[in-house]
Amino acid sequence: MSAALTDKMIAEKESGIGWMIFNNPAKHNAVSLEMWEAMPAILADFMADAAVRVIVLRGAGDKAFVSGADISQFEEKRSGEEATRHYNAATDRATTALMRVGKPTVCMIQGYCIGGGVSIATSCDLRIAAENAKFGVPAAKLGLGYAAAGVRKLMDLVGPACAREIFYTARQFTAEEAYQMGLVNRVVPNGQIEPYVREYAGSIAANAPLTLGAVKTIVAELLKDESRRDPALMQGVVDACFASADYKEGRTAFMEKRKPQFKGR
């Protein structure tokens, strides 16, 4: 276990998986300013550790992934121009760090995934939901503005029509509705989600890290407007895969009919 900046964020490493756990179950894992601020440091530690191949985010307990930002802090931490700017900068740093971390990220969602929880989930590469998951973005019920980057992130997943529905109605959607919209990759029975995600993440961790990183880089570039893409970067990560010892190991393991042992180099 690695130390975090607050006891409301737990970082654990196990069998190639880095677990980042939102640990505020008394408030359905609502994210405080201190929790937002701790996220980049945890992700940086996972990124620096070659033994961590995949990162999984989850909430403590089974009632919620993240029920949103901790609204009890808004009067103190998110009122007034300067305080709001500081708070928003912290959330931006956290979600940007999550989107840019160079390893696959999986969001394990049980119970409530509301507001800031949706922002965190959509910053991950993949989302696995339990049947009891509930999704919603209640910005229109709070009167707060939702930044263009956050709208775009959601719209890229579900399309403009469903993004409008999520924001306009501000209602909660079921896991099945979220799956139909493309917001989540899989829906699994409540009691099976943790073992399912462990096996799912483990299968990712067993694959070639350079290939995974290359695909993540290329997808991120292709999501940009064409004028902002970096073709040399995309070709460079592909070339690095072909030049790696892992590529040789993958070919050798295939010929020898055994599982490859990738080293990430």
Over range 122-138, report the average pLDDT.
97
More confident residue, 202 or 1: 202
DSSP structural state of residue 30: P
Residue range 9-205 forms a domain whose CATH class is alpha beta
Q: Which runs of E-coded beta strand occur in the chain? A: 9-14, 17-22, 54-59, 64-66, 105-109, 112-114, 126-130, 134-136, 173-174, 186-188
The full set of domain ranges for the chain reads 9-205, 209-255
Q: Assign 137 to helix, strand or coil.
A: coil
- pLDDT for 1 equals 41
The pLDDT mean for the chain works out to 93
Residues contacting 246, CB < 8 A, separation 6+: 208, 209, 210, 211, 260, 262, 263, 264, 265
| pLDDT at 71 exceeding the cut of 90 | no
Q: Side chain identity at 219, as an amino acid letter?
A: V
| Among the ranges given (63-72, 172-181, 224-233, 245-254), the one the predictor scored with the smallest mean pLDDT | 63-72
Q: 46: closest CA among 205, 195, 153, 199?
A: 205
- pLDDT for 76 equals 57
Alpha-carbon gap, residue 10 to 32, rounded angstroms = 14
Task: Report the chain's C-alpha Rg in angstroms.
Answer: 19
Residue labelled with tokens 């709208």: 151
Residue labelled with tokens 């020898």: 256
The pLDDT tens digits for 8-38 are 999 999 999 999 999 999 999 999 999 999 9
Alpha-carbon gap, residue 84 to 28, rounded angstroms = 23
Per-residue confidence at 2, pLDDT binned at 50, 70, 90? very low
The pLDDT tens digits for 153-196 are 999 999 999 999 999 999 999 999 999 999 999 999 999 999 99
| pLDDT at 7 exceeding the cut of 50 | yes
First to last CA, the chain: 25
- pLDDT for 161 equals 97
Over range 112-129, report the average pLDDT.
96
- pLDDT for 80 equals 65
| Whole-number percent of the chain with pLDDT over 70 | 94
- pLDDT for 3 equals 43
Q: Side chain identity at 154, as an amino acid letter?
A: L
**β-strand pairing of 54-59 with 17-22:** parallel
Alpha-carbon gap, residue 37 to 93, rounded angstroms = 8
The pLDDT tens digits for 82-94 are 777 888 889 899 9
Per-residue confidence at 77, pLDDT binned at 50, 70, 90? low
pTM of the predicted model, to two decimals?
A: 0.92
Per-residue confidence at 145, pLDDT binned at 50, 70, 90? confident
